[in-house]
Structure 1
Amino acid sequence: MTDERQGPEGRQQRIADVVVERGSLSAQELAAMFGVSVMTVHRDLDELERQGVVRKYRGGVTAQPSGVFESNVAYRRKAMRAAKESIAAHALRYVESGMSIMLDDATTTAAMIPRLEGLAPLRVATNYLEGLSKLAQIRGISLMALGGDYDPLHDSFLGVACIEAIDAIRVDAVFVSTSALSGRYAFHQEDRIVAVKRKMLEVAEKRYLLMDHTKLGKVALHRLVPLTEFSLLIVDSGAPEETLAELKRYDIPYEVAR
């Protein structure tokens, strides 16, 4: 495919789509795919990296996370779908009609949303824009939007205004996910995400952490909270036995979604 006539912005969007779909590619592969020079591809990738859409490494580019880079929401929606569905179904055991719950902007917790209809009436608060749109269509859901500064890479609202909106309410339970878990702690790459998640945990009576197995045994730049802050950790059946043994050793309550 040749995209010169579409201009840099159109080509960059198509490059971003391909990288999100495939996970990682080399600059040479992208140059051949789009009929442009490797130098042009590197300029496009520099701009996409500046926007936070992808992460460059020597000789290529990836949408996959690292200790300092969280994948954008488009990539995270596609990743580990079966594991997320399993975890979400298990998490619904801890939601009852009449409860007030909060969901963060994670794609793992978002997998709970289609299943909430059978548990209405519910009061649900979230800062996740796509989640708000889906929840608004479910009969019996009383919906609260946690507003703030909109971040397109996470498709969610963040910042001081969001934290203040969270602080103004109290909920029966909060369901969150994060990008890394190691030892006795949960981690995330971005301090602004950490600030919002911490406040969500503060205002909830029960706190549930939902994590697919690819995030276990990983660290990220910022420590979120000790795992003892959670009422329960829910993982999928791909969780390594050594990780589960470590959780037992630290007396971290967990359940495996089968």
Structure 2
Amino acid sequence: MTEEQSDRARSPEQRQQQIADVVLERGSLSAQELASMFGVSVMTVHRDLDELERQGVVRKFRGGVTAQPSGVFESNVAFRRKAMREQKKAIAKHAVQYVEPGMSILLDDGTTTAEMIPHFAGLTPLRVATFYLEAMRQLSELRGVGLMALGGDYDPLHDAFLGTTCLECIESIRVDAAFVSTSALSGRYAFHQEDRIVAVKRKMLEVAEKRYLLMDHSKLGKVALHRLVPLSEFDLVIVDSGASGADLAELERNDVRFEVAP
């Protein structure tokens, strides 16, 4: 079987998964590029992209498709895990200094906050609550870390449990510290694209004694559809060293307490 025949032999579901993998890896591609890559017509590619957009994996624009976020679209968790990885690690390593043995911690579904987990092994005993499934997997393997899984309806776009049940679970606990990430920060406010995520993150802040916001520099100076909370709600905002002087100056102008992770 030739390579072209092999491409055509794929089921639509297999091809769509492979298209998703390529777009998540590269960020953005044109429909023509995908058609050539997979040996199918542009029309077929558009049908595949329509299905992937319906699933929330990508978003279409004129002539192509992207996994990049926008003001109303949050990237699929698979893309977010790959983006700004080194910066997220630096931020998480800095944030861990605010965790002490014996504390109770609440983590959101952020890929930045999840980078804190490898550091927890040296800070036990800890009690960690989260609704992010990948974080649950990692935490379950750490000795001395008590895992509290916060339930709800599973959402594959975020790899997390969300909805009313999740809100009720969070409301029923009190923690020493909450570590949160979000999609955008501008002026005096943090923002996010989805109201259901906003509701969960706000509830996290209500039940925490200390509140930390972890943001890589690609999210600074950006806005999204929903205003999350004023930055004054956080005890500290932690950014990476890629943040521009202008972005840091704006945080200072707005009296935001922040630290730059080296």
Q: TM-score, normalised by structure 1?
A: 0.99
The amino acid that maps onto 2:140 is A
- 1:66 and 2:93 equivalent? no
Deviation (angstroms), 1:249: 1.1
User: Aligned partners of 2:69 and 2:88: how far apart in 1?
Assistant: 17
Deviations 1:171-210 (A, max 9, x none): 0000000000010000000111111000001000000000
Alignment pair present for 1:166 and 2:170? yes
Which residue matches 1:35?
39
Aligned pair count reads 258
* Superposed displacement of residue 5, structure 1: 1.4
Q: Where does residue 133 of structure 2 map in the other structure? A: 129
Q: Secondary structure at the match of 1:239?
A: coil
Question: 1:243 — aligned with what?
Answer: 247
Q: What is residue 115 of structure 1 aligned with on the other side?
A: 119
Q: Percent identity?
A: 77
CA RMSD of aligned residues (A): 0.7
Tell me if 1:47 matches 2:58: no
Distance in 2 (alpha carbons) for counterparts of 1:49 and 1:230:
34
Q: In 2, distance between residues paired with 1:103 and 1:127? A: 8
State the 1:41 CA deviation.
0.3
Q: Which residue is equivalent to 1:255?
A: 259
Find the counterpart in structure 2 of residue 191 from structure 1: 195
Is the counterpart of residue 140 in structure 1 residue 144 in structure 2? yes
Match of 2:204, SS state, is helix
Q: Which residue, out of 197, 220, 223, partners 1:219?
A: 223
Matches within 5 A, 1:93-112: 93-112=97-116
Unaligned segments of structure 2, at least 5 residues: none
Offset at residue 159 of structure 1 (A): 0.2
Structure 2 CA distance for aligned equivalents of residues 58 and 182 of structure 1: 28
The offset of 1:95, in angstroms, is 0.2
Name the SS for the 2:251 alignment partner: helix
* C-alpha deviation, 1:4, in angstroms: 2.5
What secondary structure, in the 3-state scheme, does the structure 2 residue paired with 1:112 have?
Answer: helix
Please, what TM-score do these two structures have when normalized by structure 2? 0.97
- The DSSP-based 3-state class of the residue aligned with 1:32 is helix
Q: Which amino acid aligns with 1:19?
A: V
**Greater alpha carbon shift after TM alignment, 2-11 vs 16-25:** 2-11
For the pair 1:17 / 2:16, whether they are aligned, the reply is: no
Secondary structure at the residue paired with 2:165? helix
Contact 1:148 1:159 in 2 (8 A): yes
